[in-house]
Structure 1
Amino acid sequence: MASPLRVVFPIYPGVTQLDFTGPHQFLARLPGAELIVASRGGVPVAADGLTFDGLAVLEEIERCDVICVPGGHGCAEAMADAVYMAAIRRLAAGARFVTSVCTGSLILGAAGLLAGRRAACHWAWRDLLLPFGAVPDPGRVVRDGNILSGGGVTAGIDFALALIAELAGPATAQAIQLGLEYAPAPPFEAGSPQTAPAAVLERVRAVNAAAMPARRAAVERAAERLRAEA
């Protein structure tokens, strides 16, 4: 009997829940897939007003076929967590696909997994990939070798379909898409900096600007740790 395809979502305090629940919903429909949501120590994780419990102990997971690292406001603290980052490196080393959604790619970068590789990220934080030697890519879903990354938050659904197509073929991906009736038709054309009204863009940029100094400092510290370990 073939072993199930093991997909691990390593979550952390301050994760954006849709970054992993979106892909999780689609991958849960993939025949033969075993999905594991894990945290450091298996402790409950609060995310966007929800609490995720019954989590696997990240440090005890021996292997996976796919690791999917979500983003979120807590990614800076996650990058500084030596135990969490060691688990990311260890699982990624044996994974068929190393993946991320949104600012999860910053965590992959901090783990030393993106040097010279193209990667997606949320538009507001994409340039923070540069200190890790990564190549920021504005694509909604970006593949570079076995690295597959989705852009900001909702791109995780598109990313999941692209991943399913790699794992099981386009027909399976399309069947899952149809079963979940994923046919986005947003009421506003405000989903990217290129299409959002100028006033809306400035409003969001102002919110992000307040968080930028701390996040940039966290990235620079993580990049310095990488250089020291090299």
Structure 2
Amino acid sequence: MRIVIPLYPHFTALDAVGPYEVLRLVPGAEVLFVAAEAGPVRADSGALAITADAALDEVDACDVLVVPGGPGSRRPPAALAPWLAKIHETTRWTTSVCTGALLLGAAKILDGLDATTHWGAVEQLEAFGARYLPDRVVFQDAHRVVTAAGVSSGIDMALALAARLTDQVTAEAVQLVVEYDPQPPFDRGAPAKASQPVRDRALEILRDASNE
């Protein structure tokens, strides 16, 4: 089972690495990172790079497509949207994390579908014809599409997808292997749970990160 994760400049590392750490443990999985060109691709911090082992034009099909988000999703390589549209025709599941949903939208994969993304990108998502849901993970089974909300929700999405690809016991075993048992020190991980000062500060952090 081939799982492909496309990278582009200024992607968010956890959007890609979170699902990678889960899905690589699915029995029979082969994970491939791709980009416009093979070689290292810098994440949004500039301090971390992941190596793409193949170029986009070297991959024409996969079983699972995982599209990470990040500031670069708003200015992706020109070849990415057409490639996503082409690959989507071959997949068992096409998925996104965070603002990776904007890339699926640009590829016309989300038109008319329920979807989620980072809470700060709702208007951009809906501009592509998707219906935003404030859920952590949204499955559109009839269309083979799964979208996850911001950054860390990619782990939840990957575990739920692992259950669809195998069975619940296997997915739960993978969860145990990575010891995913969230117990955050603060209960502010969703807009509805955050105070206005916290939301305002989060927007400041996002703006600063986008301008780096």
Per the TM superposition, whether the score is higher than 0.5 is yes
Alpha-carbon RMSD: 1.8
Q: Which has the larger radius of gyration?
A: 1
Which amino acid in structure 1 is aligned with residue 193 of structure 2? T
Number of residue equivalences:
207
Which amino acid in structure 2 is aligned with residue 7 of structure 1? I
Could you say which residue in structure 1 is the equivalent of 2:155? 157
Say yes or no: does 1:12 pair with 2:12. no
CA contact (8 A) 2:22 2:158 kept: yes
1:189 to 183, 187, 191: 187
Counterpart-to-counterpart distance in 1, 2:175 and 2:82: 34
Counterpart-to-counterpart distance in 2, 1:183 and 1:210: 30
Say yes or no: does 1:106 pair with 2:63. no
The offset of 1:207, in angstroms, is: 4.3
Counterpart-to-counterpart distance in 2, 1:45 and 1:204: 26
Could you say which residue in structure 1 is the equivalent of 2:17? 21
The offset of 1:14, in angstroms, is: 0.2
Counterpart-to-counterpart distance in 2, 1:107 and 1:77: 10
The offset of 1:53, in angstroms, is: 2.1
Change in 2 beyond 3 A, CA 1:211/1:128: farther
Counterpart-to-counterpart distance in 2, 1:31 and 1:115: 33
Deviations 1:25-59 (A, max 9, x none): 01111100010011111132011311112521121
Which amino acid in structure 2 is aligned with residue 128 of structure 1? Q
Alignment partner of 2:108: what SS? Answer: coil
Deviations 1:47-73 (A, max 9, x none): 131111252112111210111110001
The offset of 1:19, in angstroms, is: 0.1
Give unpaired runs (5+ residues) of structure 1.
215-230
Could you say which residue in structure 2 is the equivalent of 1:39? 35
Deviations 1:112-148 (A, max 9, x none): 1111101110011122111111111111010112111
Identity of aligned residues (%): 41
- TM-score norm. by structure 2 comes to 0.92
